[in-house]
Structure 1
Amino acid sequence: MKAFLSSKLFKVLFVLGVLVIAVGSMMPGKQLPSGLPWDKALHFVGYFGLGFLARMGSDKRPAWLLIIACIAFSLGIEVAQMFIPNRGFEWQDLLANSLGVICGVLVGVLGKKLLIKPVKR
């Protein structure tokens, strides 16, 4: 049996998501695009996507472990930003990221049941 959508695709997209977030988060503050509205909403959406891709790409890891891993990544990014010019650690960013991860993983639990299922040959 072949999967409707492969978890391998989501694993690749997850790695790309990690790279995009890491690179974007490590840019010095003055190099960031100006005029980004709703900063915390962007944090939520970005980490929602990361959490969703983590759940969809994971075959055996429990959802709680994926949530902890993604939040730890977010915390690492926030700490690293303390050493980047015109950037800094923000608790509000960490909160928005964490809520995004939790919601993304939970939606991914449902998505995994609906999208990654065997297709009869």
Structure 2
Amino acid sequence: MKAFLSSKLFKVLFALGVIVIAIGSVMPGKQLPSSLPWDKALHFVGYFGLGFLARMGSDRRPAWLLMVACIVFSLAIEIAQMFIPNRGFEWQDLVANALGVVSGVLVGILGKKLLITHTKA
């Protein structure tokens, strides 16, 4: 159980999350599936996962720094979308991403505390 919950696993999952979000975010708009559920919810969920994995995979970096790094990544993606056909910068996407990151990091903090308490018992 301890090996499954190692920070190395979460680091790998975080890196994969960054890659998946980056690839999905730079696809031209016409290549996106047309039956996507509410766009902002997808932004929130994707960046929630990224924030959660960032917190769970990092033992030394403060939570605020992880939040800033993930939000800056989100901003860079939104700026890049200005140059992609049928995509564009949206402040609402950035807000949904930031709320997802903050929520994910906070849940990650709680998750780490619960795991530490559970493994000591």
* 1:114 CA displacement: 1.9
- What is the TM-score of this pair, normalised by structure 1? 0.92
Q: Which amino acid letter does the alignment assign opposite residue 9 of structure 1? A: L
State the match for 2:77 in structure 1.
77
Structure 1 residue 43 corresponds to structure 2 residue 43: yes
Q: Are the structure 2 counterparts of residues 31 and 64 from structure 1 closer, same or farther at C-alpha, using a change threshold of 3 Å?
A: same
Root-mean-square deviation (CA, aligned residues, Å) is 1.7
Q: Which amino acid letter does the alignment assign opposite residue 62 of structure 1? A: P
More helix as a share of residues: 2
* 1:56 CA displacement: 0.1
Greater Cα shift, 107-116 or 70-79: 107-116
C-alpha deviations, 1:47-87, integer Å up to 9, x for none? 00000000000010000000000000000000000000000
- What is the TM-score of this pair, normalised by structure 2? 0.92
Structure number with the bigger relative contact order (C-alpha 8 A, sep ≥ 6) is 1
Kindly report structure 1 stretches of 4+ aligned residues shifted beyond 4 Å: 116-120
Q: Which runs of 5+ in 1 are unaligned?
A: none
* 1:115 CA displacement: 2.8
* 1:3 CA displacement: 5.7
Q: Are the structure 2 counterparts of residues 118 and 37 from structure 1 closer, same or farther at C-alpha, using a change threshold of 3 Å?
A: closer
Matched residue pairs, number? 119
Report the identity percentage.
84
